[in-house]
Chain A
Amino acid sequence: MAEEFEPKIVAFLCKWCSSAGSDLAGVSRMEYPPNVVPITVMCSGSVSPLYIFSAFKRGADGVLVSGCHPGDCHYIKGNFYARRRIALVKKLLDYIGLEPQRFQMSWVSAAEGKKYTQIIKDFVQELKPLGPQTKLRSNS
């Protein structure tokens, strides 16, 4: 039997909420699939569209951006900019023809280890039937 497809995911987590939330998932010994490699950034507002394209280009099957809940950003309003920017990126990816499930944004606070766990589980589950992402992957 062929091995099940394991999607590769990059997650941009803001340092103050989502990264702390994923730490809490660890401290609480929750379990989720190991498909995600986290990259901690200062704020979801610092995630440039270029990072997202670059991840897809380098072969990511899915990309997650996660920050503080709207109104709770450590830098007051970084995540509002993130939300707007990400809506645009989503449209653009749609236009290119990438499956919309491959790119997600979530709000996870430092207290929401459980929510983070669930988001990763669901994300991996949603990506599995899609198979590898080839639309944006560069062949080099």
Chain B
Amino acid sequence: MKRTGVFVCHCGINIAGTVDVKKAAKELSKHKGVVHSEDYVYMCSDPGQNLILDAIKEKKLDNVVIACCSPTLHETTFRNASKSAGLNEFQCEIANIREQCSWVHKDMDKATEKAIKITKSAVEKVRRNESLEPISIPVTRRALVIGGGIAGIQSALDLANTGYEVILVERSPSIGGHMIQLSETFPTLDCSQCILTPKMVEVSKHSNIKLMTSSEIQEISGYVGNFKAKILKKPTYVDADKCTLCDECTKVCPVVVSNEFDLGLTGRRAIYIPFPQAIPATYTLDISACPGLLPIACGKCADVCEPGAIDFDMKPEIIEEEVGAIIVASGFDLYEKEMMGEYGYGKYPDVLDGLQFERLLSASGPTMGKVLRPSDHKEPKEVVFIQCAGSRDPELHCPYCSKICCMYTAKHAMLYKHHVHDGQAYIFYIDIRSGGKGYEEFVQRAVEEDGVLYLRGKVSKIFEEKGKIKVWGVDTLAGKDIEIDADMVVLATAMRPSEGAEELAKKLKIALDKDGFLSEAHPKLRPVESVTSGMFLAGAAQAPKDIPEAVAQASGAAAKAIAILSQERLFHAPTVAKVNVNLCTGCGMCVDVCPYDSLSLKDGKVEVNEVLCEGCGTCSATCLRAAIQIRNLTPLQVSEMIKVSLGG
């Protein structure tokens, strides 16, 4: 008969305060097969672990049960201790008598009785555990990065510079994300394009980076270390290798549509380059705007293209790639215009959002860096900025704080003053949140040096009258009503997960939080990991954040991915499904329910792919004959656990 040792921890008074640990140890020593049972004040301490080690050796124990805190805390500690005494790690089980017992009960007799049952249940389990070694799987040592904003760019460069191949997938025609649209960046007022474009060029030149723009993820399968990605590469109808950027095509293209790069403040042709520094440096034909690819419909661009770069026959391609780790950096979008009707957004041309204002400030923007009203191209002398437009409003809009708007609004007001010296900037705010290095000083600078007027309160009404935008609100600090005849209004609209984030998350099988941002595995301790192993998160896709934070998280995610790619093999829990071929009739019921497609029928019997199997046990509950079971949690084990849990 197997020799079992039981160790009951007091956890100071955390357990001993409600569970009579001496009595428990004594009762357990009478249980069948238990040859050693003792209690100790802190089992996890060094002397505590030594007690276990010594007992395993002296009493020749085959397995041990530690009755202590939740296995999420010290299972690894005690399994390692058991290993160092020569036991297989699965010969050690934890009985949770703290979180699930001593901490939730007051009656000592009853809590003790329950603790004994819980521990006996673990004893019955461990006595039937198989000794198993982790399953080893090879690693595909390349990575996939989804999204080519600053976060995706940073992750890709970190990985590539460490020596790993990276596939960077961006759905728009150029990388750069939102950062490339910004003018200058808080708190240092660096020119955004000037600091970003060198990185973009590095991506395009890097021998380890395969850049795929105008591309989207179609399907992801596989598991950590061995993912398979199907990527849809959409046709751009322009051969990037032949295009010389001569710009002849746009001169003849008859179609004008709204230019997304300038957020509708300018127009562009159906054939266009997103912005002069676009990477890859090439033109793109926007098929949704082009009247048709047939020369009959138009074809003017192809006629003038000297190098013959325009190819109307280009077809969508599906490209398959194998990678070991995935980083998702799909970024953000601003809160939909339609939602901001209360502020006249979308109704009055001089009510703008923050990104549009960035374009007005940008030296490469539609006004070459002059702040002019879209309606009449006059310089606005009174500008009202409204913070929290759509944020922190659980009733009507987004409940969360978009985090960066306080800072970029201070920046906007400051830069506006740098352009229009005799102008006045007003900011309506609820609170100023300026946590960050140099951030509070930045806001102070806006007030002190640039005379920005901060008004604490909400705007109640915005309407147009005689060429002015009337802004009515209250200053809650002064307790006064305020009326401003503004020339321009800028809304700091909420940051939202980027369009299509939900669909992407479904394809990747990763979770979203209540606001639709990608969910991290643990809000404090695993902030760059997703719940799916081998998939990591970076940038504003996970939560609203500014550039330094996006970059830090991107490097963190790259480091996590490198931790996988740097290994030749990965190890996988061996508690997977196993088949008793004598019982299996080959009915295939388990094959249909397995969430990981790990089962297949071969010669009338089911077979387990141990690398794919996650050990969920759905198959075992489905099999009518108990022919498929999970190692170390078999129906026999559970049945014995039930028995002792009921006092049998």
A residues with a Cβ closer than 8 A to B are 8, 10, 20, 22-27, 29-34, 37-43, 45-51, 54-55, 58-60, 72, 74-78, 81-82, 85, 117
Contacts and interface: CB of A to CB of B under 8 A. Distances in A.
B595 interface: yes
B10 interface: no
Interface string B67-93: 000111000000000000000000000
25 contacts: A23-B72, A23-B99, A26-B99, A27-B99, A29-B103, A31-B104, A31-B105, A33-B105, A34-B113, A37-B645, A38-B118, A39-B641, A39-B645, A42-B617, A45-B593, A45-B617, A46-B620, A48-B626, A49-B621, A51-B639, A59-B646, A59-B647, A74-B531, A75-B614, A78-B617
Interface of B: 70-72, 96, 98-101, 103-107, 110-111, 113-114, 117-118, 121, 509, 511, 531, 575, 593, 595-596, 614-618, 620-622, 626, 630, 633, 635, 638-639, 641-643, 645-648
Contacts of A23: 70, 72, 96, 99-100
Contact of A46 (B70, B596, B617): B617
Pick the most buried of A24, A26, A82: most chain B CB atoms within 10 A of its CB.
A26
A42 B98 contact: no
B101 A34 contact: yes
Contacts of A20: 72
Given A30-B104, A72-B511, A76-B509, A51 B642 contact: yes
A59 B100 contact: no
Given A49-B621, A75-B614, 14 more contacts: A23-B72, A26-B103, A32-B105, A34-B104, A34-B105, A39-B642, A45-B616, A46-B621, A47-B621, A48-B626, A58-B642, A58-B648, A75-B596, A78-B595
Contacts of B100: 22-23, 26, 38
Contacts of A85: 621-622
Contacts of B620: 46, 48
A78 to B, nearest CB: 5
A25 B101 CA distance: 10
A45 B622 CA distance: 9
A10 B642 contact: yes
B618 A43 contact: yes
Identify whether the interface residues of A are mostly helix, strand, loop, or mixed: mixed
A65 to B, nearest CB: 11
B616 A75 contact: yes
Contacts of B648: 58-59
A55 B646 CA distance: 8
A41 B630 CA distance: 11
A32 B614 contact: no
A33 B106 CA distance: 9
B118 A37 contact: yes
A45 B648 CA distance: 26
A51 B639 CA distance: 7
A139 B114 CA distance: 23
A41 B617 contact: yes
A30 B118 CA distance: 19
B99 A39 contact: no
Given A42-B615, A48-B620, A75-B614, A27 B103 contact: yes
B641 A75 contact: no
A81 B621 CA distance: 9
Contacts of B114: 34, 37
Contacts of A26: 70, 98-101, 103-104
Nearest to A28: B103
Among A38, A47, A59, max chain B CB count under 10 A is at A38
A74 B630 CA distance: 16
A58 B101 contact: no
A25 B105 CA distance: 11
A24 B72 CA distance: 12
Residue from B104, B110, B622 having most chain A Cβ neighbours under 10 A: B104
Contacts of A43: 616-618
Nearest to B70: A23
B633 A77 contact: no
B617 A37 contact: no
B593 A81 contact: yes
A23 B70 CA distance: 7
Contacts of B70: 23, 26
A8 B617 contact: no
Contacts of A8: 646-647
A46 B643 contact: no
Most buried by A among B99, B114, B596, B648: B99
A121 to B, nearest CB: 11
Contact of B646 (A49, A60, A117): A60
A10 B645 contact: yes
A46 B647 contact: no
B629 to A, nearest CB: 10
A51 B642 CA distance: 8
A117 to B, nearest CB: 7
B588 to A, nearest CB: 15
Contact of A76 (B117, B595, B626, B647): B595
Contacts of B638: 39, 41, 51, 54
A44 to B, nearest CB: 9
A74 B645 CA distance: 26
B8 to A, nearest CB: 17
B50 to A, nearest CB: 27
Nearest to A6: B110
Contacts of A48: 620-621, 626, 635
A39 B113 CA distance: 16
Contact of B633 (A10, A41, A45): A41
